[in-house]
Chains A and B, each alone.
Chain A
Amino acid sequence: MITGYFDGDEPFVQGRLIIEQLGVEDFVEFLVDTGAYSTVLHPMDGVRVGCRFDRLSGEPETVLGIGGTQICYPEEAIIVFADDDGEYAFSLAIDIVLPDDDPKAVVNELPSLLGRDFINYRRLHYDRSDELLRFY
């Protein structure tokens, strides 16, 4: 069981993100987003974890979102999630979004997302009223 939490009304789960080829090995909070096709590392976290954006090797893809389109760079990653007893490592491709030069740009404020490429393969218990967010 992987346990998440609510920050206000936003559901989060945290994990250790490892993207060896980009020099990333640090913790990230992911917003659990059933509307997201894939798991996404947004600039706020990319900068914080020291992602080597200059080493991106995946073919860029244009992705449609509610606010327009974004360019994402897919990279193979490992995400380690935790529960009270242990840590569980999963291998998946993560879409990486480059930071905008304007520090006030909305994209620089977005949380990273845990998308359906993970959610669809687990059972999710989501109960805001009881503060329960669990993946089985």
Chain B
Amino acid sequence: MAELATEMLVEERPHDLQPIAVAPLSDEMRQYKKRTVFLSAHRAELTRRYPDQWVGISSNWTLVAAPTVAGVIGKLEGKGLGKRGLAVKLMSTKPRRMIL
């Protein structure tokens, strides 16, 4: 019986989700992480400066703030900057408790 159970478990075990490709870490990925970490690490200061605004940092480290994500993108575009690699977070003065 135990053997049968083991057999069944092995058969029912899902296949591992294997990567379809592997590549060296790109500088772009590394830089994006730096920007997101910066926003997290400076959240208190940024919230004081830009309360309840979305704050974004573009790929060339230009910081912009606006009431919406679309507003952040619009400001960047106004400066002639692209949104690719944009890191953005809401600097909420009353962070919502999320139960997802």
Contacts and interface: CB of A to CB of B under 8 A. Distances in A.
B20 A109 contact: no
B33 A48 contact: no
Contacts of B24: 85-87
Contacts of B5: none
B96 A82 contact: no
Interface string B6-47: 000000001111011111111001101100110010010000
Contacts, number: 94
Interface centre among A27, A86, A88 (most CB of B within 10 A): A27
Given A35-B100, A103-B68, A113-B100, A48 B20 contact: no
Contact of B96 (A5, A84, A109): A109
B84 interface: yes
Q: Classify chain B: how many residues form its interface, as a range.
A: 35 or more
Interface string B56-93: 00000000000111100100000000011111111000
10 contacts: A26-B83, A27-B29, A27-B32, A66-B100, A82-B30, A83-B25, A92-B17, A110-B98, A113-B100, A121-B14
Given A31-B100, A47-B73, A108-B68, 16 more contacts: A14-B33, A14-B36, A16-B29, A27-B29, A36-B100, A48-B69, A82-B29, A86-B23, A87-B22, A88-B19, A89-B22, A89-B23, A108-B69, A110-B100, A118-B17, A121-B15
Interface of B: 14-17, 19-26, 29-30, 32-33, 36-37, 40, 43, 67-70, 73, 83-90, 96, 98-100
